[in-house]
């Protein structure tokens, strides 16, 4: 097979694969035949369409989106700044590393419960998202800084380039691929933990709050519809950032 | 005049330089010729301030600025031809001056059509040309070169040496170059120091063909 035909095949194959799994889902739900355990894809789609006509649906998505965005942006900002500082300074790295490892190994549920004690319901998901994404981004940025080509730094030293331009011209571009990898990993993660935190903190408008209500009232089709919303949004973001990452690192290899 | 007096440099037990003395005259190209691994690069890095030495004195380097053409091109892979030269100018010049300098030197090395190309889109010879343009574009008092033409094929090397000399004639500055190639040293340099031994010593001083 010529390589040029592969992308074409892939384009045809992907919808077929998705269709196949939707078929499996439909088949299993037919077999079980109890909506409460496993609603069919069609029933889920209907629930989704019903939901999408309500203003509540869109404000909930918007609010959850805003929480993910804030938590995520703050963790990016903190991760990049602290990551660069810790990458450059051994002492700072040694000081911060145990903290990052501790956060990474803390169960998400513990973080959520602690956050529930500390914050108001709307802020809990933001804090949880930040705390879960931050160590991933921090670790990647530190690694990126440490991988900087020493020979380029030597060149900049001879030419007496100042710190700011070294940061902008050497450090930032060489850690960008690492940062992007960290962003993509933590973004999917960020969605999941934010929604999980919303389930427990139940802010007024939130996807997680609706998941919780759907569970309480045993509305499985709604539960599945809301879950697919999270999955689709998470996929969409990952795709978007992968495109951005591909553009940004185009020329570095 | 740059004068190195009684320089001593050792890596642990390995003494590279001991009681080493050498003079470099103004506006001349001096070649340091010697076998690979004899300590020539160390000497160059000491002059550039990239490596420390344990004792001795260096005169005539106060407030001097350096350009350095390394053995590898050392270009920023994520910056264009322009961006790479701009990188060493940004700290000291305003945008207008940078533009003027960029235009002048990119033209001098014949890369006008490649301004927006990235290093991975250029051949090895072109990349080294960018490194040469960067070295001249930077307002240095002393230009250091470490095997700058190594690993290029003969034709390319001759072409690059010619463009280097053409640039130097228009923009004369003191050059200290390190090489293990006697022909290269003869073609480019005014003075040639033949170095060897451990610790490093000057075996012979000769005049090059460049008059």
CA quadruple B176, B179, B185, B188: dihedral sign: negative
State how far the Cα of A231 lies from the Cα of B57, in Å rounded to an integer. Answer: 68
Name the average pLDDT for chain B. Answer: 89
Domain that holds residue A205: 59-252
Q: Is A203 left (phi over 0), alpha (psi -120 to 50) or beta?
A: beta
**Option in B72, B120, B134 nearest A151 (CB):** B72
Given a contact cutoff of 8 angstroms between Cβ atoms, the answer to whether B4 and B22 are in contact is: yes
CB-based contacts of B201-207 (< 8 A; 24+ apart in sequence)? B201/B20, B202/B22
Confirm or reject contact between A245 and chain B (CB < 8 A).
no
pLDDT band at A252; cut points 50, 70, 90 = very low
pLDDT at B190 over 70: yes
> What ipTM, to 2 d.p.?
0.89
Which residue on chain A is closest to B85 by alpha carbon?
A159
Given a contact cutoff of 8 angstroms between Cβ atoms, the answer to whether A187 and A245 are in contact is: no
Cβ distance of B70 and A151 shorter than 8 Å: yes
Q: How many domains does chain A have?
A: 1
CA quadruple A175, A180, A181, A185: dihedral sign: positive
From chain A, the residues in CB contact with B68 under 8 A are 155, 158-159
- The size of the A-B interface in CB pairs under 8 A is 54
Cβ distance of B91 and A174 shorter than 8 Å: no
> What value does the mean pLDDT take over residues A73-93?
95
Confirm or reject contact between B48 and chain A (CB < 8 A).
yes
State how far the Cα of B176 lies from the Cα of A46, in Å rounded to an integer. Answer: 78
Contact residues, B window 103-122, toward A, CB-based 8 Å cutoff = 118, 120
What residues are paired with B144 via a beta bridge? B68, B176
Q: Domain for residue A32, yes or no?
A: no
- B8: three-class secondary structure by DSSP: strand
Confirm or reject contact between B70 and chain A (CB < 8 A).
yes
Does residue B199 have a cis bond before it (omega within 30 degrees)? yes
Q: Domain for residue A42, yes or no?
A: no
State how far the Cα of B66 lies from the Cα of B175, in Å rounded to an integer. Answer: 10
> What value does the mean pLDDT take over residues A199-216?
90
Q: What tokens were used for A209?
A: 């709050």
pLDDT in tens, A31-71: 998 888 889 999 999 999 998 999 999 999 999 999 999 99
Confirm or reject contact between B87 and chain A (CB < 8 A).
yes
pLDDT in tens, B17-46: 888 889 888 788 999 998 877 888 888 999
**Option in B72, B78, B90 nearest A165 (CB):** B90
Q: What tokens were used for B195?
A: 């170095």
Q: Domain for residue A197, yes or no?
A: yes
What residues are paired with B29 via a beta bridge? B175
Given a contact cutoff of 8 angstroms between Cβ atoms, the answer to whether B32 and B195 are in contact is: yes
pLDDT in tens, A197-207: 999 998 889 99
Q: Domain for residue A22, yes or no?
A: no
CATH number at residue A70: 1.10.3720.10
pLDDT in tens, B1-13: 888 988 898 888 8
* pLDDT > 70 fraction of chain A, expressed in percent and rounded: 94
Q: Is B55 left (phi over 0), alpha (psi -120 to 50) or beta?
A: beta
Residue A170: which of A77, A74, A88, A90 has the closest Cα? Answer: A88
Q: Domain for residue A52, yes or no?
A: no
Confirm or reject contact between A159 and chain B (CB < 8 A).
yes
Q: Domain for residue A117, yes or no?
A: yes
Q: Domain for residue A1, yes or no?
A: no
pLDDT band at A196; cut points 50, 70, 90 = very high
Q: What tokens were used for B81?
A: 């031809």
Q: What tokens were used for A175?
A: 């850690």
Cβ distance of B120 and A251 shorter than 8 Å: yes
Q: Domain for residue A37, yes or no?
A: no
Nearest-CA distance from A235 to chain B in Å? 29
Confirm or reject contact between A158 and chain B (CB < 8 A).
yes
| A interface test, pick of B63, B87, B130 with most A CB neighbours within 10 Å | B87
Q: What tokens were used for A88?
A: 């450059």
pLDDT at B137 over 80: yes
Which residue on chain A is closest to B46 by alpha carbon?
A158
pLDDT in tens, A152-182: 999 999 999 999 999 999 999 999 999 999 9
pLDDT at B99 over 80: yes
> What value does the mean pLDDT take over residues B177-197?
89
């Amino acid at each position: 097979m010529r390589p040029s035909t592969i992308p074409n095949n892939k384009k045809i194959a992907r919808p077929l694969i998705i269709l196949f799994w939707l078929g499996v889902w439909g088949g299993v739900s037919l077999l079980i035949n109890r909506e409460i355990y496993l609603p069919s894809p069609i029933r889920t789609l209907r629930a989704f369409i019903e939901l999408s006509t309500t203003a509540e649906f869109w404000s909930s998505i918007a609010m959850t989106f805003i929480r993910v965005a804030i938590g995520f942006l703050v963790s990016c900002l903190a991760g990049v700044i602290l990551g660069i500082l810790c990458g450059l300074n051994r002492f700072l790295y040694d000081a911060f590393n145990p903290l990052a490892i501790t956060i990474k190994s803390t169960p998400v549920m513990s973080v959520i419960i602690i956050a529930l004690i500390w914050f108001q319901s709307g802020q809990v998901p933001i804090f949880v998202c930040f705390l879960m994404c931050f160590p991933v981004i921090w670790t990647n940025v530190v690694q990126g800084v440490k991988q900087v080509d020493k020979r380029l730094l030597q060149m900049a030293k001879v030419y007496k380039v100042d710190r700011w331009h070294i940061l902008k011209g050497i450090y930032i571009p060489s850690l960008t691929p690492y940062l992007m990898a960290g962003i993509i990993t933590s973004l999917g993660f960020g969605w999941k933990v934010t929604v999980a935190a919303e389930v427990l903190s139940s802010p007024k408008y939130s996807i997680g709050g609706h998941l919780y209500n759907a569970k309480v009232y045993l509305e499985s089709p709604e539960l599945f519809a809301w879950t697919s919303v999270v999955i689709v949004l998470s996929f969409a973001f990952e795709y978007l950032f992968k495109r951005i990452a591909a553009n940004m690192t185009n020329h570095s290899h | 005049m740059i004068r190195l007096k009684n320089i001593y440099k050792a890596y642990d037990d390995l003494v590279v330089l001991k009681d080493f003395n050498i003079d470099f005259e103004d506006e001349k190209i001096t070649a340091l010729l010697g076998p690979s691994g004899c300590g020539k690069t160390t000497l160059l890095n000491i002059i550039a301030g990239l490596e420390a030495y344990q004792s001795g004195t260096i005169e005539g380097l106060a407030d001097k600025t350096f350009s350095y053409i390394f053995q590898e091109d050392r270009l920023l892979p994520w910056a264009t031809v322009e961006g790479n030269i701009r990188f060493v100018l940004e700290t000291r010049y305003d945008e207008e001056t940078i533009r003027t300098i960029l235009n002048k030197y990119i033209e001098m090395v014949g890369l006008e059509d490649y301004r927006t190309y990235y290093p991975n889109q250029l051949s090895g010879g072109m990349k080294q040309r960018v490194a040469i343009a960067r070295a001249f574009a930077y307002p240095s008092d002393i230009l250091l070169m470490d095997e700058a033409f190594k690993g290029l094929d003969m034709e390319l090397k001759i072409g690059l040496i010619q463009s280097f000399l053409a640039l130097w004639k228009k923009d004369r500055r003191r050059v200290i170059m390190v090489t293990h190639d006697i022909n290269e040293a003869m073609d480019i340099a005014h003075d040639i120091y033949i170095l060897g031994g451990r610790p490093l010593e000057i075996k012979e001083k000769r005049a090059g063909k460049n008059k």
